[in-house]
Amino acid sequence: MSSMLPFPSPQQAPNVIATIGEFFDAGGLLMWPILLCSVVVVGLALERYLSLRRARVVPRVVLDAAQQVVEGRADVIEAGILAASAPAARVLAAGLRRRGCLLADVEKAMEDRLHEEARLLRGNSKGIVLVATIAPLLGLLGTVLGIADAFAAVEQTGLGKSESSEALAAGIKVALYTTIFGLFVAIPATLVAAHLQARARRLAAAIAQAVQPTVVALAALPPSARLPREHDEPAADPKEHHAA
């Protein structure tokens, strides 16, 4: 005699997809905005994870360029860094545009650009935080509306009957579906946003560490004739002086 237990028949096995569909349908119309919130979170998170890659933010070419600047060969990498789109390259380019200026001017130009790049790195993380705040509020709104409908139905039939009590309990249970779904979206979204913000801070620190050695070297270099300095005014036309 076999000791193995019989497998459940297909009819006995729970249909997960049908259960999820019933859960979604029972929650009402506000389940759709919460579902949209989940889609937005996934899209923003994917965009941020693709953007916050170290190889993209602080590529090896920028580290090599910073070393060239420290060694006094800024002219070799100047054109390439100015054309590069990596965040670390833009910070170094801000320093290149102020080369030959006072040390404080070079440092301030690079710090200002670094702060701007850090803000851009955080980017859509704030959008994820916003969605994580809205999703449970939508769920709570759905629950409140569902409970109100349940009490309204009981009011029509009277609370003394057992059927009314069962209907009230069932109505409240269904009303809680939107809150469950809202929290199901908000909790992972909050964790993802915190992780992305921490990654953005680490990358901003990596940019600062990569370009910091170049500040003194850029201030010691002669100004580049090919680069217009930021905030410099264009030279006056000699013809204007003659006309005056």
Could you tell me if residue 187 is inside a domain?
yes
Could you tell me if residue 205 is inside a domain?
yes
- Domain of residue 37: give its range: 27-220
Tell me which residue of 153, 195, 162 sits closest to 41, measured CA to CA. 195
> Which residue's entry shows tokens 């992780």?
195
Could you tell me if residue 199 is inside a domain?
yes
Phi, psi values for residue 52, rounded to 5°: -90, 50
| Sequence letter at residue 75 | D
Q: What is the model's pLDDT at position 231?
A: 45
Q: What is the model's pLDDT at position 164?
A: 64
* 39, 43, 48, 50: CA torsion to nearest 10: 140
Whether 91 contacts 117, CB under 8 Å: yes
Could you tell me if residue 236 is inside a domain?
no
Please write down the HEC assignment for all residues of 11-32: CCCCCHHHHHHHHHHHHCCCHH
Q: Which two tokens stand for residue 152?
A: 């309204």
Q: What is the model's pLDDT at position 16?
A: 43
Could you tell me if residue 243 is inside a domain?
no
In the chain, the number of structural domains is 1
Helix (H) or strand (E) holding 48: helix 31-51
DSSP 202-240: HHHHHHHHHHTTHHHHHHHSPPPTTSPPTTPPPPPPHHH
Could you tell me if residue 92 is inside a domain?
yes
Could you tell me if residue 216 is inside a domain?
yes
Q: What is the model's pLDDT at position 225?
A: 52
> Which residue's entry shows tokens 């953007």?
51
Q: How far apart are CA 226 and CA 93, in angstroms?
A: 13
Could you tell me if residue 69 is inside a domain?
yes
SS3 116: helix
Q: What is the model's pLDDT at position 236?
A: 42
Phi, psi values for residue 7, rounded to 5°: -75, 145
Q: What is the model's pLDDT at position 224?
A: 64
Mean pLDDT by 10 residues, the chain (244 residues): 46 53 78 93 94 94 93 89 92 92 92 94 90 93 85 69 67 83 94 95 95 91 60 41 40
Phi, psi values for residue 206, rounded to 5°: -65, -40
